[in-house]
C-alpha cells in the first residue's frame, strides 16, 4: 500500500520537469505574464507551468491506482480528476484572456460542490448535512482563491505545498490518511519539486492560474479528507500561514472599502519585499514556518486531546503572527 505513494513522488517530479522542458518554448511565445499592479517581477515571464504539474499529478495518481487496483477509490478519483481539469481549463482561459470574477466564482462553486458531495464521512454530525456541506463548499472556494492570491512570489507556492504535502504523505504512512489522499499528496509533492527549479528566484516560469487554481483545489480536497478522518485541527494548522495572510489582507481591504477583486500588493509577503526582505528571505521564512506548523499538526494526531489542541493552536498562531509582524516591518537588510 505504501509503495505507490512513494513511487509517485519521483515519477511526478520527472513528468513535471520533462513537460516543462518540452513546453517552455511554447509558453515563452504564447503565455507571457506581463508586470501589473500585483506583480513582484519586472520583466515579462512565461506562465503556465501549472499545466505540467496538473498532468504530472493526474498521470502519477492514475499509475498508482493501476498499480494497487483502484477499487473503491475509483469513483472519487475520477470526480477529483474532472474537477482538477475543469479548474485547469478555467485558469488557462483566464491566463490568456481575463474572465469576469463572477464567472470564475460560479464555476469554482459548481466544481467544488460536486467534489464535496463525493467525499463520504462527516465533520460535525451534530449539524444538519446541508449546513455542513455548505460550509465545506464555502471553505473550499476560499482556499482555492487564497492559493491563487498567494501565488505572487517566486517559490511561494513551493514553500507552502512541499511541506504540506510531505506532511500529509508522512501522516498517511502512519495511518492518518487513506490510500487515495496519500497517493495524491505524494504526486503533488513530486510535481511541485519538478517545477521548483524553474520557479527558483529569479523565476524563469510561473504557475499561472492554470496551476494555482487546480493546486488550490487539490490542497483543499486533501485537507478536507484529513479533517474527515479526524484531523480537523491538523487540517487548519497545516495551511495556517496562507489562511492568516490571505484572510487578514482581505479583511483589511474590505474595511478600507477597496475593490477586493482587483490586483494589489498588500499581502504580508508582498509588503515584506517592499520592506527590504529579499525573495529568498521571505520564502525561506515561510518554508521553515510551514515545517513547524506540520510538526504541530502531527502532534494533534499523535496526542488527540483538547489540551494538546489548545497548545498547538496557540503555538501555531504565535509563530504565524511573528512572521506576519516581521513582514509588515521595514528593514534595511534582507
Each of the 334 residues of the chain gets a pLDDT tens digit; together they read 678 899 999 999 999 999 999 998 888 776 666 665 555 555 678 888 999 999 999 999 999 998 877 677 888 999 999 999 999 999 999 988 888 989 999 999 999 999 998 887 778 878 888 899 999 999 999 999 999 999 989 999 999 999 999 999 999 988 889 999 999 999 999 999 999 999 999 888 999 999 999 999 999 999 999 999 999 999 999 999 999 999 999 988 888 887 766 667 789 999 999 898 999 999 999 999 999 999 999 999 999 999 999 999 999 999 999 999 999 988 655 4
Q: Which residues contact 214 (CB under 8 A, 6 or more apart)?
A: 50, 53, 54, 84, 85, 87, 88, 91
Tell me whether residue 220 is in a domain.
Answer: yes
- Other beta carbons within 10 angstroms of residue 99's beta carbon come to 16
What is the predicted pLDDT for the residue at 182? 95
Tell me whether residue 152 is in a domain.
Answer: yes
Q: Report CA torsion sign: 228, 174, 82, 47.
A: positive
Tell me whether residue 114 is in a domain.
Answer: yes
What is the predicted pLDDT for the residue at 334? 44
Backbone φ and ψ of 18, nearest 5°? -65, -40
Tell me whether residue 257 is in a domain.
Answer: no
Tell me whether residue 116 is in a domain.
Answer: yes
Helix residue ranges per DSSP H, 45-174: 50-68, 73-96, 101-118, 129-150, 156-173
In angstroms, rounded to a whole number, what is the distance separating the alpha carbons of residues 168 and 234?
A: 10
Q: Which helix (H) or strand (E) holds 32?
A: strand 32-33
* pTM for this predicted structure: 0.93
What is the predicted pLDDT for the residue at 16? 97
What is the predicted pLDDT for the residue at 332? 59
Tell me whether residue 213 is in a domain.
Answer: yes
Cα→Cα distances 295→142, 170, 302, Å: 24, 11, 10
Q: Report CA torsion sign: 204, 293, 222, 127.
A: negative
Tell me whether residue 303 is in a domain.
Answer: no
Tell me whether residue 204 is in a domain.
Answer: yes
Supply the range of the domain harboring residue 142.
Answer: 3-232
Counted domains in the chain: 1
Q: What is the DSSP letter of 204?
A: S
Amino acid at each position: 500500500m505504501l509503495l505507490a505513494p512513494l513511487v509517485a513522488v519521483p515519477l511526478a517530479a520527472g513528468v513535471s520537469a520533462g513537460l516543462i522542458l518540452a513546453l517552455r518554448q511554447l509558453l515563452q511565445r504564447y503565455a507571457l505574464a506581463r508586470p501589473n499592479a500585483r506583480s513582484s517581477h519586472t520583466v515579462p515571464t512565461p506562465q503556465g507551468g501549472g499545466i505540467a504539474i496538473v498532468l504530472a499529478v493526474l498521470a502519477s495518481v492514475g499509475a498508482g491506482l493501476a498499480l494497487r487496483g483502484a477499487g473503491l477509490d475509483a469513483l472519487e478519483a475520477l470526480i477529483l480528476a474532472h474537477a482538477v481539469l475543469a479548474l485547469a481549463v478555467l485558469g488557462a482561459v483566464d491566463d490568456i484572456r481575463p474572465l469576469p470574477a463572477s464567472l470564475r466564482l460560479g464555476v469554482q462553486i459548481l466544481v467544488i460542490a460536486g467534489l464535496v458531495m463525493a467525499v463520504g464521512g462527516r465533520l460535525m454530525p451534530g449539524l444538519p448535512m446541508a449546513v455542513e456541506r455548505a460550509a465545506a463548499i464555502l471553505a473550499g472556494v476560499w482556499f482555492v482563491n487564497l492559493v491563487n492570491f498567494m501565488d505572487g512570489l517566486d517559490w511561494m507556492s513551493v514553500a507552502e505545498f512541499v511541506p504540506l504535502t510531505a506532511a500529509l504523505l508522512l501522516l498517511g504512512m502512519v495511518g492518518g490518511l487513506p490510500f487515495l489522499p496519500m497517493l495524491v499528496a505524494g504526486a503533488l509533492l513530486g510535481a511541485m519539486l519538478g517545477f521548483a527549479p524553474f520557479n527558483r528566484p529569479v523565476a524563469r516560469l510561473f504557475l499561472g492560474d492554470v496551476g494555482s487554481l487546480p493546486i488550490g483545489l487539490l490542497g483543499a480536497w486533501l485537507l478536507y479528507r484529513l479533517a474527515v478522518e479526524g484531523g480537523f485541527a491538523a487540517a487548519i494548522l497545516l495551511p495556517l500561514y496562507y489562511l492568516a495572510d490571505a484572510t487578514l489582507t482581505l479583511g483589511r481591504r474590505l474595511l478600507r472599502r477597496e475593490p477586493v477583486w482587483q490586483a494589489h500588493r498588500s499581502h504580508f509577503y508582498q509588503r515584506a519585499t517592499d520592506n527590504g526582505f529579499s525573495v529568498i528571505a521571505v520564502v525561506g521564512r515561510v518554508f521553515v514556518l510551514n515545517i513547524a506548523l506540520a510538526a504541530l499538526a502531527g502532534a494533534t494526531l499523535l496526542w488527540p486531546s483538547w489540551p494538546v489542541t489548545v497548545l498547538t493552536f496557540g503555538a501555531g498562531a504565535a509563530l504565524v503572527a511573528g512572521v506576519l509582524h516581521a513582514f509588515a516591518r521595514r528593514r534595511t537588510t534582507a
